[in-house]
Structure 1
Amino acid sequence: MAGVVVQTAGRKLGKTEANWVAAVESGTGTTITSILFDRRVGVGEVEEALGDVVGLHPRLRSVIVREGSEFFFKTAEEVRVSVCEVDRSLERFDDDEEGNAREVWHLVTEEELNTPFPTDFPIPVFVPKLYLLPESKSLLVIRLHASAADMASTATIVKCIVSSLHRRSSGESKIAGDVEGVENRNSAEQGAVLPSVEDVIPPGQANKPFWAHGVDVVGYGLVSRRHAYLPFDDTESLRASKLIRGALTVEATNLLLKECKNHGVSIHGVINAAALKAVAAYKRVGAKGEHYGTTVLLQCRNRLQPTLPESSVGFYHAALMRTIHTSEPEPFWDLAARCSQDFDTAIKNRKHFTDMGDLNALMVQAMRFPNLTPSGSLRTSVLSTMYDPVVEDLGEEAAAVGVKDYLSCSSTHGVGPCLALFPFMRRSALQFSFIYSSPLYSRSLMQKLVDSILFYLSED
């Protein structure tokens, strides 16, 4: 196949990637990308398009193998994609467990979000399914292992699928000359194909004395005891990740960005502020306020050495965990400015690199000893979000191949936040996938929070 990246050598998983093996098994980190078509899409058509994708991105045709206590990516040279087709066209289900009307493809996406990867090795990292839905619609669902693909990777994957479908529908089956293919081939020639994030941190930027690691791990643990959380509904029943979608209009997005510029506030600062204000208002904390733990995921490809192309598919996010105090009377833009400055200062001090090992260790401890978390809930913060929204720009090709809608999100019902916000910028509008753990929290509670967050972002 033209444009295929040949990579057969195995690579040991980095510490962050290996951490995700345990996290995915616990219920957190299964990433889903769903593409809804307004037409019937054939299995052969999808397999050819996905063959182009895994040909350009070797990590997606890898499996995770275990040797002793260590994990390795084993990548096949041969490009082969098999798609399972599931017929749901005769099923008329549009209500969730609480009787709320839902779009069928959202419910199917939730099912896949809660479908675990196998625990027996080798473990695949890329599992596609094609669903036949009512009204002659089709839904392509791709389940991704977090160790192999972060949220930024999903935009690359979707764009590549759409481009391949469009090329083939136009009679152009060759993919030689594709920009992503060229970038990955160049990386292969330099011997730096898909390194772990730890292996490409700029020299000196992750340095921290051994004793300081211990102090910071203890410090994170002690500070977390001050954190307030959302009230739990059911801490005993089996949990699953649930999805709520939300969006601003183009006009509201433009106004928000304009106000961010006027106030000198970043988009991640304003999103965090909206979520924290929504939580404080829901809990009626009054003027006294509460301390909340908030986690921001930073996309690091352009911060590494050597830098990686934005189209590189792998896990290259670093987490920043901060404690933010707020009260109900605090002005929204004051809180947004504090959130923005707090995270920007942490990045300036390289906390995303120096604390990477500490946060990985805390994540492992929470999974091993759930009783260390409030009510054994495995909640480690009140919310998590992205530092920058993932930009999804498919152009007119999407409509040309019948794409009606699409979304990406990750499961969080293992170890994770009370509410995870996945922001995307699509066609100049800010959109979100909100994920929460059920029945730890009810859908009605989370819908109120989502509505409040969107209110702050569009009206305040």
Structure 2
Amino acid sequence: MDDWKSRKMPEGLKPKGRPVGSTELAWCRAVLSGTGITVLVLQASKRPEISNLRNALHKLQNSHPILRSKLHYSAATNSFSFVVPSVSHLQIEAFDLSSTHRIFQNTSATSIAPLQKVLEHELNVNPWSTRAAGSEMEVNVLFASVYEIKDAKWVLALRLHTAACDRATAVGLLRELKALMGGADQREVWSEGGINMGIEDLIPDGQAKKPIWAHGLDTLSYSLRSLRLTNLEVINAGGPRFSQVVRLQLGRHETQHILEGCKSRKIKLCGVLAAAGIMAGNSWRRSATSHRKKKFGVVTLIDCRPLLEPELSARHFGFYNSAILNTVVAGGGEGLWDLASRCYATFARSKSNNKHFTDMADLNFLMCKAIENPSLTPSSSLRTSLITVFEDTVIEQSGDGRQEEEVGGVEDYIGCASVHGVGTSLAVFDTVRDGRLDCACVYPTPVHSREQMEALVEKMKKVLVEGGY
């Protein structure tokens, strides 16, 4: 068994504060326009005890200093850094029923559940976008709010800067918060002691090595290839942008059948979700007379913690994801499993060639260039490809009833990140919860409409259900 209590970073690798790394810097630039806000929302049947919640969050901030840090921008050096104050200043913002109702009046969708309305509201609250030219800035990376909603229920929302919180961090944060609110002692929670180094400084020697000329060629290759990718129809590339969410859920039997199909073919669920997205997107782009093959861009995010040196565990908070961008050719006549196997094989080859490390700088550079020059993307939409998936699926099983009751009767929760500044048309945050597939599918609007994306996700669901057999 992994003795995680003994797996601590050497003290020399845990600064109290530090400049952001290259990948983190890309998120700092992206979040100004609306990509890179991570949100967790939990719906509860009991009002959270604010003092208990505040104490639990402060304990988490003490155990994981990056959650206590402030993102500091220096106008003099045009640089960002994490600064860790000695004491947490986190305040929990509370909204009563009338305040929540006023917030909901600003949403265009009346049919979605209150939990999802809170999620969409939080995805579009951006405290990191107010930096004025030539000014200093210092903002928390973590914010907490409690919303009262109808039927005597409440929603707890945690909003984080993605530079300090990838999906593994969000999952770990949720688990540790529930444990602390359920009565666990702080000594039972992993303690890091300081902010760990950025991902670039932990890549094993030689695995990210690439000659300068190769960087140039690959950057050019990615740029030219993106011009030939097939994208979803852009509804409106102008005007203020927001992130919205469509939820894709399958039953236990349907989920089990898909997971068994993945196991028998030795592929991961990310390949199936990517294939379903491509098949759904392709059905929208096909005409009655055209059956030619099209190229689709698929971004797969990898949790690099086990691949770093020294190796990190999921209990090391921060951003340690890397992306692999692949092109998948589809003609519309493929079956789900054939295309899923091809999607996964393409990704696996790229990973075996260390593309997640060697191309990290190239993709960060292109991300920033797209933000600065929207005209480089289709219809100036800032869309870089069709779909984002995660290599590994989050597996969740309900805790015992006593802990859930002390937490406040948690009934449902969703976690995802915003994408409306720059990114793919659809980002899929997948979880298998108590044997059921539950995906938060995030998209930018008005680049894409809610009706368009609800139809796309419904088509994905149909592909998964019918094609999985």
TM-score (ref. length: structure 2)? 0.90
Matched, 1:147 2:163: yes
Q: Distance in 2 between matches of 1:281 and 1:95?
A: 34
What residue number does 1:175 align with? 186
Matched, 1:459 2:463: no
What residue number does 1:55 align with? 62
Q: Distance in 2 between matches of 1:91 and 1:344?
A: 45
What residue number does 1:354 align with? 358
Residue 105 (structure 1) shift: 2.2
Q: Distance in 2 between matches of 1:403 and 1:280?
A: 38
Q: Distance in 1 between matches of 2:58 and 2:108?
A: 39
Matched, 1:162 2:178: yes
Alignment-mate amino acid for residue 116 of structure 1: N
Residue 287 (structure 1) shift: 2.6
Residue 444 (structure 1) shift: 1.1
Residue 271 (structure 1) shift: 1.1
What residue number does 1:336 align with? 340
What residue number does 1:127 align with? 143
Alignment-mate amino acid for residue 327 of structure 2: T
Q: Distance in 1 between matches of 2:227 and 2:15?
A: 46
The answer to whether the Cα contact below 8 Å between 1:320 and 1:343 also exists between their aligned partners in 2 is yes
What residue number does 2:81 align with? 72
Q: Distance in 1 between matches of 2:265 and 2:455?
A: 27
Q: Alpha carbons of 1:33 and 1:97: their partners in 2 closer, same or farther (altered >3 Å)?
A: closer
What 5-or-longer segments of structure 1 have no aligned partner?
A: none
Secondary structure at the aligned position of 1:230 is classed as coil
Q: Distance in 1 between matches of 2:36 and 2:374?
A: 17
Residue 64 (structure 1) shift: 1.3
Out of 307, 310, 330, the position equivalent to 2:311 is 307
Q: Distance in 2 between matches of 1:76 and 1:235?
A: 40
The answer to whether the Cα contact below 8 Å between 1:420 and 1:434 also exists between their aligned partners in 2 is yes
Residue 453 (structure 1) shift: 1.1
The answer to whether the Cα contact below 8 Å between 1:298 and 1:317 also exists between their aligned partners in 2 is yes
Secondary structure at the aligned position of 1:322 is classed as strand
Residue 80 (structure 1) shift: 4.3
The answer to whether the Cα contact below 8 Å between 2:181 and 2:406 also exists between their aligned partners in 1 is no
Residue 386 (structure 1) shift: 0.8
Q: Distance in 2 between matches of 1:314 and 1:264?
A: 30
Alignment-mate amino acid for residue 22 of structure 1: R
Percent of aligned pairs sharing the same letter = 33
Residue 134 (structure 1) shift: 2.1
Tell me which moved more, 370-379 or 423-432.
423-432
Offset from partner CA, 1:27-52 (integer Å, 9 cap, x none): 10111011111111232121112112
Residue 254 (structure 1) shift: 1.1
Out of 365, 368, 387, the position equivalent to 2:369 is 365
Q: Alpha carbons of 1:107 and 1:99: their partners in 2 closer, same or farther (altered >3 Å)?
A: closer
Q: Alpha carbons of 1:202 and 1:90: their partners in 2 closer, same or farther (altered >3 Å)?
A: closer
Matched, 1:136 2:152: yes
Q: Alpha carbons of 1:393 and 1:99: their partners in 2 closer, same or farther (altered >3 Å)?
A: closer
Residue 90 (structure 1) shift: 7.1
Residue 99 (structure 1) shift: 4.9
Q: Alpha carbons of 1:8 and 1:304: their partners in 2 closer, same or farther (altered >3 Å)?
A: closer
Q: Distance in 2 between matches of 1:219 and 1:242?
A: 31
Q: Distance in 1 between matches of 2:114 and 2:52?
A: 23
Secondary structure at the aligned position of 2:210 is classed as coil
Q: What is the RMSD computed on CA atoms of the aligned residues?
A: 2.0
What residue number does 1:280 align with? 282
Tell me which moved more, 277-286 or 346-355.
277-286
TM-score (ref. length: structure 1)? 0.92
The answer to whether the Cα contact below 8 Å between 1:64 and 1:73 also exists between their aligned partners in 2 is yes
The answer to whether the Cα contact below 8 Å between 2:383 and 2:424 also exists between their aligned partners in 1 is yes
Q: Distance in 2 between matches of 1:415 and 1:255?
A: 35
The answer to whether the Cα contact below 8 Å between 2:428 and 2:439 also exists between their aligned partners in 1 is yes
Residue 57 (structure 1) shift: 1.1
Q: Distance in 2 between matches of 1:231 and 1:20?
A: 26
Offset from partner CA, 1:383-418 (integer Å, 9 cap, x none): 111111123345123355311111111111101111
Q: Distance in 1 between matches of 2:114 and 2:28?
A: 30
Q: Alpha carbons of 1:8 and 1:358: their partners in 2 closer, same or farther (altered >3 Å)?
A: closer
Tell me which moved more, 376-385 or 39-48.
39-48
The answer to whether the Cα contact below 8 Å between 1:155 and 1:391 also exists between their aligned partners in 2 is no
Q: Distance in 1 between matches of 2:429 and 2:152?
A: 29
Matched, 1:317 2:321: yes
The answer to whether the Cα contact below 8 Å between 1:127 and 1:144 also exists between their aligned partners in 2 is yes
Out of 109, 119, 129, the position equivalent to 1:109 is 119
Q: Distance in 2 between matches of 1:389 and 1:135?
A: 32
Secondary structure at the aligned position of 2:232 is classed as coil
Q: Distance in 2 between matches of 1:205 and 1:257?
A: 32
Secondary structure at the aligned position of 2:328 is classed as strand
Alignment-mate amino acid for residue 46 of structure 1: L
Residue 97 (structure 1) shift: 5.2
Alignment-mate amino acid for residue 159 of structure 1: R
Counterpart mapping for 1:406-421 below 5 A:
406-421=413-428
Secondary structure at the aligned position of 1:176 is classed as helix
The answer to whether the Cα contact below 8 Å between 2:100 and 2:148 also exists between their aligned partners in 1 is no
The answer to whether the Cα contact below 8 Å between 1:39 and 1:137 also exists between their aligned partners in 2 is yes
Residue 289 (structure 1) shift: 2.5
Out of 29, 34, 46, the position equivalent to 1:27 is 34
Q: Alpha carbons of 1:239 and 1:296: their partners in 2 closer, same or farther (altered >3 Å)?
A: same
Out of 389, 393, 404, the position equivalent to 1:398 is 404
Alignment-mate amino acid for residue 374 of structure 2: P
Residue 233 (structure 1) shift: 1.1
Out of 265, 269, 272, the position equivalent to 1:270 is 272
Secondary structure at the aligned position of 1:123 is classed as strand
What residue number does 1:87 align with? 96
The answer to whether the Cα contact below 8 Å between 1:8 and 1:77 also exists between their aligned partners in 2 is no
Alignment-mate amino acid for residue 442 of structure 1: S
Out of 201, 213, 216, the position equivalent to 2:215 is 213
Q: Alpha carbons of 1:96 and 1:435: their partners in 2 closer, same or farther (altered >3 Å)?
A: farther
Alignment-mate amino acid for residue 44 of structure 1: S
Matched, 1:422 2:429: yes
What residue number does 1:258 align with? 260
Offset from partner CA, 1:180-224 (integer Å, 9 cap, x none): 23xx25xx6xxxx41100010111100001100000000000111
